[in-house]
């Protein structure tokens, strides 16, 4: 590895030290339904977001709650201490489309209608609150 690449890699590594994330791949829910829940908690403090997700009626909320708990645990393992209230917030939550299962449904007069069973990928970043973020 050249010197320029090594310097860039070290800078990236240093930037990732304070950010912890968790990924959930191939969730069998449409991305549109998952984004509704992701928009509810985007930018929130993590313990407040856990409360919102726990009492949400949406099925996707349970999956995001589990993912958020995983991201918090990743942050705690990386920083070797427990998270305190008001310290962590959701810095990024992103829902991307995943693989799509295509099926056929019988329709009148010998035709077939296409059914698309969608899936998605969710990425959730947890970060500490800095002085710059509070302004």
Each residue's pLDDT tens digit, 56-86: 999 999 999 999 999 999 999 988 889 888 8
Q: Are 110 and 76 in contact (CB under 8 A)?
A: no
Has residue 135 got a pLDDT over 50? no
108 or 19, higher pLDDT: 108
Which is it for the CA torsion 63, 65, 68, 69, positive or negative?
Answer: negative
Domains and CATH numbers, the chain: 19-134 (3.90.470.10)
The pTM score is: 0.82
Average pLDDT over residues 101-106: 96
Angstrom distance (rounded) from CA 58 to CA 47: 18
Query: What is the residue whose two structure tokens read 């991201």?
Result: 71
The encoded tokens of residue 49 equal 């977001």
* pLDDT computed for residue 130 by the predictor: 67
Q: Residue 18 — pLDDT band, cuts 50, 70, 90?
A: low
Is pLDDT of 101 > 50?
Answer: yes
């Amino acid at each position: 590895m050249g010197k320029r690449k090594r310097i860039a890699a070290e800078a990236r590594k240093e930037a990732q030290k304070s950010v912890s994330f968790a990924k959930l791949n191939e969730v069998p829910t449409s991305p549109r339904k998952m984004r509704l829940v992701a928009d509810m908690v985007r930018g929130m403090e993590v313990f407040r977001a856990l409360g919102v997700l726990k009492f949400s009626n949406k099925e996707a909320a349970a999956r995001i709650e589990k993912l958020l708990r995983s991201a918090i645990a990743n942050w705690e393992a990386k920083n070797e201490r427990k998270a305190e209230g008001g310290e962590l917030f959701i810095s990024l939550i992103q829902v991307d489309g995943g693989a799509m299962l295509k099926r056929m449904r019988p329709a009148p007069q010998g035709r077939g209608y296409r059914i698309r069973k969608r899936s998605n990928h969710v990425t959730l970043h947890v970060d500490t609150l800095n002085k710059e973020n509070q302004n």
